[in-house]
């Protein structure tokens, strides 16, 4: 399939523009997560809940609360374990109304997740956006980040995963080679100069023009003096990119 265009309005590909923004609820408590969701109101329809909230013991209560309010949920759990355990974990997540779940493992783990997914979409983590080439070398990967991401994405697609988590820096190459056969979810979105632990970041418009289907935004919205206004600003950029 042809790559997405990099100028002008993009092909919406059936995804409602307002659902392309995923807000990361990376907060210490479920109460804080509910408060932020309430504050954002109709400015966000899609939320990511990850490991920090899992440790609160209220993860599934929060999940049901979000689903009950018509929100979509991305369970960012980065499952990594022996294949049987990954398969069992995904099976426990299926049927709960979750849209995406992440797996951060090798081929056999991804295969196990795909066997159990039912209504879930499996997203393979390629390389965390907090890692650069130096970090990969420390981990024993003697390759550049882009090559590693593309290799992992090819394998994930061949296995049957629905999408990948990738920095915007690698999105263009992924889209160019893999076309629309795979979803690309881009975290590490920074609307302003980046000063935190994310090393491979892009802004909202660039992420989509490079090939993203969805973006994940956390700190820039949560820490803004007016989170709803900032989420609305991001949504306006998305609408302008997709010609809505």
pTM score, whole prediction: 0.87
Average pLDDT, the chain: 87
Residue 1 has pLDDT above 60, yes or no: no
Residue 189 φ then ψ, to 5°: -85, 125
Q: Which of 16-20, 34-38, 114-118, 136-140 has the lowest mean pLDDT?
A: 136-140
Distance between CA 206 and CA 222 in Å, rounded? 21
Give residue limits of the domains in the chain: 17-241
Nearest-angstrom CA–CA distance, 243 and 240: 5
Top pLDDT among 194 and 184 is at 184
Does 17 score more than 80 pLDDT?
yes
Helix (H) or strand (E) holding 112: helix 107-116
Residues 95-147: pLDDT tens digits? Answer: 999 999 999 989 999 999 999 999 999 999 986 555 455 544 554 554 567 78
CB neighbour burial string for 6-43, b if at least 16 within 10 angstroms, e if fewer: eeeebeeeeeebebbbbbbbbbeebeebbebbeebeeb
CB 212 within 8 A of CB 171: yes
Query: Active site includes 78?
Result: yes
**How many helical (H) and strand (E) elements, i.e. helices and strands, does the chain have?**
11, 8
Distance of CA 241 to the CA centre of its chain: 19
Domain at 17-241: CATH code: 3.20.20.70
- Report the alpha-carbon angle 211-15-180, nearest 5: 40
The whole-number average pLDDT for the span 79-100 is: 97
Options 78, 121, 199, 228, the catalytic residue = 78
Q: Is a pLDDT exceeding 60 seen at residue 197?
A: no
């Amino acid at each position: 399939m042809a790559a997405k265009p990099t100028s002008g309005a993009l092909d919406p590909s059936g995804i409602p523009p307002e659902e392309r923004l995923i807000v990361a609820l990376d907060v210490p408590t479920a109460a804080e997560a509910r408060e932020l969701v309430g504050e954002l109101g109709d400015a966000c329809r899609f939320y990511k809940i990850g490991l920090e909230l899992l440790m609160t013991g209220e993860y599934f209560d929060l999940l049901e609360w979000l689903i009950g309010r018509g929100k979509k949920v991305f369970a960012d759990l980065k499952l990594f374990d022996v294949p049987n355990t990954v398969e069992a974990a995904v099976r426990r997540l299926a049927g709960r109304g979750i849209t995406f779940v992440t797996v951060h493992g090798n081929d056999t783990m991804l295969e196990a997740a795909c066997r159990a997914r039912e209504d879930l979409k499996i997203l393979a983590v390629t390389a965390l956006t907090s890692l650069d080439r130096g970090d990969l070398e420390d981990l024993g990967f003697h390759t550049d980040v882009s090559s590693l991401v593309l290799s992992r994405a090819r394998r994930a697609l061949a296995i049957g995963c629905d999408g990948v988590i990738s920095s915007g820096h690698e999105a263009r190459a992924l889209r160019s080679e893999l076309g629309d056969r795979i979803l690309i979810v881009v975290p590490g979105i920074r609307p302003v100069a980046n000063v935190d632990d994310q090393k491979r970041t892009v802004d909202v418009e660039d992420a989509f023009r490079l090939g993203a289907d969805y973006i994940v935004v956390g700190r820039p919205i949560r820490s803004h003096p007016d989170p709803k206004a900032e989420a609305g600003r991001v949504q306006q950029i998305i609408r302008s990119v997709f010609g809505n």
